[in-house]
Chains A and B, each alone.
Chain A
């Protein structure tokens, strides 16, 4: 019932590897990590959700906020997700249209920054 946030550097990108559950209790941790990265100058973030067991609207809100922040700096925030339970909440809310969602981190890194 916790969330681990690991930040990896891949070329010019920051890859956030998430493990655990993202809800109203744990989402602030993810939010702070994204805020710190963007404030620190990151313009390319990939959020790897392959090991996320649970995501709700609070987590979505954090991701949308992160997307807005980084877009304001002409950067990109991409999602890596293939689990139905994670993709479903993007689909229900229509936010699958707002994010670039990829099947792997490698695929996400192939996209140009402006493509997100």
Chain B
């Protein structure tokens, strides 16, 4: 849990723990999507949440020391906002933080980790990336719910 923050873990409505393997990312994405739809939130927001979860979980699938340890996902949603937290037990997020979008070199694929955090920052209203004691990182993301009058559920990149 992020010190001092009202983390999604404080009152999580959804808790998932899954192996750091590609086949589980879709399951995580769809579980959070189901939670958001239960709250009858705008479809644009559902799409943004799915993408944010997918990017954070994909980044956490590391080949570093965290390999084998489960990824944790916590989510809460109400009429005003969606709070997500992904716990990366390894070094994937750490390496993504070190990358910069301007460093993208398509000769050195895959560059997904370099793209993931800019995408997250472009989708969510707040993001906090915090080292955990010992090893691992927490990625906490908040997406605000705003009226759909202009066709956008939120988005304040």
Contact = CB atoms under 8 A, between A and B. Distances in A.
B122 interface: yes
23 contacts: A1-B30, A23-B54, A24-B25, A54-B51, A54-B54, A56-B51, A56-B54, A56-B55, A58-B58, A60-B112, A60-B115, A61-B109, A61-B115, A64-B111, A68-B106, A85-B51, A89-B51, A92-B119, A92-B123, A93-B115, A93-B118, A93-B122, A94-B101
Interface in A35-57: 54, 56-57
The 7 closest A-B pairs by CB, nearest first: A92-B122, A25-B22, A57-B115, A1-B26, A24-B22, A85-B47, A57-B112
A58 B112 contact: yes
Nearest to B30: A1
B interface, over-half SS: helix
Interface of B: 22-23, 25-27, 29-30, 44, 47, 50-51, 54-55, 58, 61, 101, 106-107, 109-112, 115-116, 118-119, 122-123, 157
